[in-house]
Amino acid sequence: MQPGFSILCFQASADLPFLVFYQRKGVMHAAASLLNSSNLSLRFASQTQTRLSPWIAAPSSVRLPLNRSQNYRIALPPLHSTVSGDSTQPQQMASADVKAQDPRIAGISSAIRVIPDFPKPGIMFQDITTLLLDTKAFRDTIDLFVERYKDKNISVVAGIEARGFIFGPPIALAIGAKFVPMRKPKKLPGEVISEEYSLEYGKDVMEMHVGAVQAGERALIVDDLVATGGTLSAAIRLLERVGVHVVECACVIELPELKGRERLGEKPLFVLVS
């Protein structure tokens, strides 16, 4: 196959033939010879091509860095939401406590905007700022977390910089816990305790104020998204070093293809949308 050339197969339903499209130099085309052999109209094929065009990714030869500060999925379509307590489901909703027909989940998923080719070509950026603009979806997001943790005797909600600062404080207030920011180096003015962690290309450091938490407290770690799991793992280690029991990690979005859940070991992870 030529470099920069990729193929996508699409089947509208079980009783219809496959449509085959190919991408070359960033442009998707219908494979006309196959379309002509089917009973599908060219108008339908054109509409299908238009709808699928935003989902075509950059050639697989492009290697992009995995950085937790970038909320993206590589070469994947926009988010869809399903509810399942089974982690083997392809579109996972990590909550056995959220009812399968809860309409809030679909609203949250649809409020998250996917921006292609940001910050680099081939990246589908998961933008939660549109969720924040939707007051109902934002409220539902907080409510779902609060409903899960209000009776778990949690005294600390630790939010990871930076979007963990958005979701963490309202959860903490609602369940009667204190909020502790987990920050990047040289952001906290007082004495800090630090934890270094590895990224795919280099290292980073997470810091927390000394005395912000006490040994024996029960903590919830909050962030907007889990990708490779490196940052969540560092937050767990940092809290456990001072004797805090981490009850669970909670994120709005999970990118399961990056296998961040595996990096957390046995520590539970709760997410709303995969």
What are the catalytic residues? 163, 200
Cβ-based neighbours of 15, under 8 Å, separated by 6 or more: none
**Worst-scoring range by mean pLDDT, 73-77, 212-216, 236-240, 244-248?**
73-77
Residue 3, amino acid: P
| Nearest CA among 178, 175, 103 for reference residue 145 | 175
Per the structure block, which two tokens stand in for 145? 């977390």
Cβ-based neighbours of 82, under 8 Å, separated by 6 or more: 89, 91, 92, 93, 274
Residue 197, amino acid: Y
Q: How far apart are CA 116 and CA 126, in angstroms?
A: 9
Q: How far apart are CA 2 and CA 66, in angstroms?
A: 26
DSSP string for residues in 103-147: HHHHHHHHHSEEEET-SSTTEEEEETHHHHH-HHHHHHHHHHHHH
Q: How far apart are CA 115 and CA 104, in angstroms?
A: 22
Instruction: Tell me the pLDDT tens digit for each residue of 27-38.
Output: 444 443 333 333
Instruction: Tell me the pLDDT tens digit for each residue of 173-211.
Output: 999 999 999 999 999 999 999 999 987 678 999 999 999
State what percent of residues in the chain have pLDDT above 70. Answer: 63
pTM value surpassing 0.85 = no
